[in-house]
A and B are shown apart, each in its own frame.
Chain A
Amino acid sequence: MKHYSEEDLVLHYYGEDRRAAEVERHLQACERCAATYRDIAGTLAMIAAPEAPERGDQYGLEVWQRIRHKLPEQNRSWFFVLRSSFGAVLRSPFDSGIRSPFERRTQNAERRTAFALAASVAVLVVAAFVVGRVWPRTPPIKPAEQTASTDAARRVFVASVADHLDRSARVLTDIMDTAAAGDISAEQQWADDLLIASRLYRQDAVDAGEQSVADVLDEVERSLIEIVHSPSRIGAADLEQIRRRIDAAALLFKVRVLSDDLREREQTPDAARPRTSMRKTS
């Protein structure tokens, strides 16, 4: 008789197994699995959700008072500003959904400002067209266009690598935090998922001349490979060895510094271009 694993029975308890009826029939017939299931269910039934202390109706206001002075400047792209401006002009005066006279006045003011901005842009577009027609023809300035599109691509790259580094840092932190030798299959699965992305980003970094980013990604990749290729039920010695390598390379620190660095560059368009070297990390 085929028995169900603890994992299968946990999924059954939470109603997440696809063969619920089959498992149920088996539990009727198999005392061994039924006993394990009773243990699991009995233990989980003891764990009741903690009652969160009550928060009153004014709680939202309290939170707001605590955070309002800490709110940073939001990063708004030109595309967003233009889109919202044109959106404000094109919006029907009857579809606002705003009810109070104050809000209506505010919206009218917004619409006037937006209209002025949209009109200015339209005038500029027409002027540019006319000037373009009468101006002596010169070869298109390809390098400038190329720079703009390269910058956009670089910003996307910077943001993606920063996200990737944050995820990698989590796996590494998990490995560093694991209490003792044991099952690391969850971390391995996660590291495996990250590995392919890491290779692609490293290649992109090399192509983009971001050598310092490529170097850190290379180190991350080596640690991820080591984690993936370790036994799932890792022994204390193997675990300690992985940790020592992560520690010796100050890898977590480098990953966090680089991630912060990239986030900073992401916020500052001019700074999205490659830096010759990363901030000193050791």
Chain B
Amino acid sequence: MAWRAYPAIQHVIAAGIVAGTTVAFLVVSGYDLSASLSALWRGAFGSIDAVLSSTLVRAIPLVMLGIGVAVAFRVGVFNVGGDGQFLVGAAAGTWIALLDLQIPAVLTVCLALCAGAFAGGLWGLLPAALRLRWGVFEVLSTLMLNFIAANFVSYLVRGPLQEPTGIYPQSPTVSTQLPVIIPGTRLHAGFIIALLCALTAWVWISFHASGFRTRLTGANPTAASSAGLINTGRLTLGVFIASAALCGAAGAIEVLGVTFALYENLSPGYGFTAVVVALLAGLHPLGVIVCAILLAALDAGAAAMQRDAGVPSVTAWIVQAFVVLAILATAALTRRQRLARFVSR
């Protein structure tokens, strides 16, 4: 029930799942548990700088993409193309930021973010149209478009957008940047934008008529169109594009707030981690914030674990994969309970 306050208990369960799988992995692989975990903690929450510059900064794209994925899931669209949409958004944002526009920096930043959202939305329009017109399954089309986007970015950073010396496959450094909101850290204004996006998404899906239509369509598209006379096709198209636009904006934010240039491997699989975030949050926009921070902390901590305790940082990925399995298993169980309850009467 999306309109209700997000149940706090689910956070505890989510954290439990993540912590449990991490510990289980470390024990099974025979690493020094206490050393590894203390490194993990230090890296993620050990100091103010770890929290603000490492964990929260990493959480920003995860919140944005997580919201995008969660909203799409709610209307019944499995957008696993977050990565591709993120990359084209980053490319468009970089392009705008590099133009010499002769306008105030704040306007350039806004324009770059809008360009990112627009490019991402455009990248989502294609699979959305394919699905609505010909029933092409969006899991396949969005996934394939990820590769196209990645190669497109490779082309850009070796061609039109390459830095002037022509040595490195990356764009020049952008001079218009998102401001840092806490001096002395790397936490930039993208954090506020991400929080606002999550809050807006929550209010919209819980209290607005079109958000309600989205939930109805996701729950039962046939009934939504027959009993509710909802134009499910148009709604799905709109939500799909909005989801992709959020992912695109996240790409622009990442460039203007963290990397300041377009790289080939700008996204270490944010689009997939976002799926984990959305599922872990039970597709609840406010839950996405918490779960994004949780997985960002795992990621930040994993880096420290590799440095200090010699545990490979891919641990974070393995844990994420286990988290998905755990969620799917619980979902299957609850579905069975529901079924039992239904058939019993």
Same complex for A and B? Answer no
Residues of B within 8 A of A (CB): none
Residues of A within 8 A of B (CB): none
